[in-house]
Amino acid sequence: MTSLPLPAADLISAWDSDHHGRLAPLTRSEYTRYLRRLAADHDLLVVTSFELRRFLTNPSWSASTKNFALRAIRSFCRWCVLVDLRSDDPSEKIPMAKVVVPDVRVADDSIRDALIEACCSVRDRAFVATLFGAGCRRGEIVALTLADVDLNAATLRIPKSKNGRPRTAPLTPHAVKHLRRWLLERRRMDTGADALWLTQRGTALTSAGAKMTLRRVSERAGVTFSSHDARRAYAVNWLRMGGSETSLMAIAGWSSISMVQRYTRMNSQELAIDEARRLFGTT
């Protein structure tokens, strides 16, 4: 098949338009970035498997980055074959790079309690409790408004997840208790702002401000902690108590079961033993 003299930008735009709704917006955006990078040096309609392999050997890329770029290329090449722009898929036989999965931390209740004890304000205690008690990303919690919080239902409304879809996150009783205290404190500030989290000046807490606050609290508590440690803890506790992986995916805003496995990998043996005890009725 003779390739059509179509500009790379038009090809990528057509691919992107055809995948609207099939891929998460952020994924499409990142795929597009790698396709443009490939198109800077190669004709997308005649690029060979050898050229793709050479493109993917970028020494500055990690194995995960190479695999992400390869998935972008595969999606594009398969689309080209589907719409008769190419007769072959040069990415088809290129293997994924081997990724060494690093150990990840999972913060337990003792770390949560140490962090809360090290907080200097009602707001910070509520923020830490919400991190552990909602399973949300730090940015999602920072962006909450008053309208997103329903303490009667013990839920948070996340207007937009990382996958582009809204979701509802249930809160633990511990998080509800601290949020209730913060809302009473916040009511006295009466700034008219919609943001759930306010600074002492009455302005909305920023992502950078929340990150700095957590860093200072961690230092005072003498623990190593990141907000994702709390998210992993929520996932592990959910499964330990018998919650399903499907429901956890919906609550956490994940579109793939592999994310559940990634977040709970370090505790998989412990979770399996807990499940066996429930099944066999042993203690």
pTM of the predicted protein model? 0.62
pLDDT at 3: 46
Same domain, yes or no: 154 and 276: yes
Same domain, yes or no: 22 and 117: no
Question: Beta strand pairing status for 149-150 and 155-158?
Answer: antiparallel
Q: Identify whether 47 is part of a domain.
A: yes
pLDDT at 5: 58
Q: What does the pLDDT look like over 97-150, one tens digit per residue?
A: 887 655 556 678 889 999 999 999 999 999 999 999 998 999 999 999 999 999
Structural domain range at position 212:
109-280
pLDDT at 149: 97
Q: What sign does the CA torsion over 195, 198, 202, 207 have? A: negative
Q: Identify whether 98 is part of a domain.
A: no
The least confident of 123-127, 173-177, 223-227 is 223-227
Q: Identify whether 93 is part of a domain.
A: no
Position 16 pLDDT exceeds 70: yes
CA angle 93, 95, 97 (to 5 degrees): 160
Same domain, yes or no: 77 and 136: no
Burial (Cβ within 10 Å: 0-12, 13-18, ≥19) of residue 1: exposed
Q: Identify whether 231 is part of a domain.
A: yes
pLDDT at 259: 72
Same domain, yes or no: 56 and 123: no
Domain count of the fold of the chain: 2
The least confident of 42-46, 58-62, 114-118, 245-249 is 245-249
Same domain, yes or no: 69 and 131: no
Same domain, yes or no: 171 and 57: no
**What's the CATH number where 128 sits?**
1.10.443.10
pLDDT at 100: 65
Same domain, yes or no: 135 and 267: yes
pLDDT at 268: 64
Q: Please say whether the beta carbons of 119 and 128 come within 8 A.
A: yes
Q: What does the pLDDT look like over 235-277, one tens digit per residue?
A: 888 888 888 888 888 888 887 777 777 666 655 666 666 665 6
- Going by pLDDT thresholds of 50, 70 and 90, the confidence category of residue 280 is low
Q: Identify whether 263 is part of a domain.
A: yes
Position 166 pLDDT exceeds 50: yes
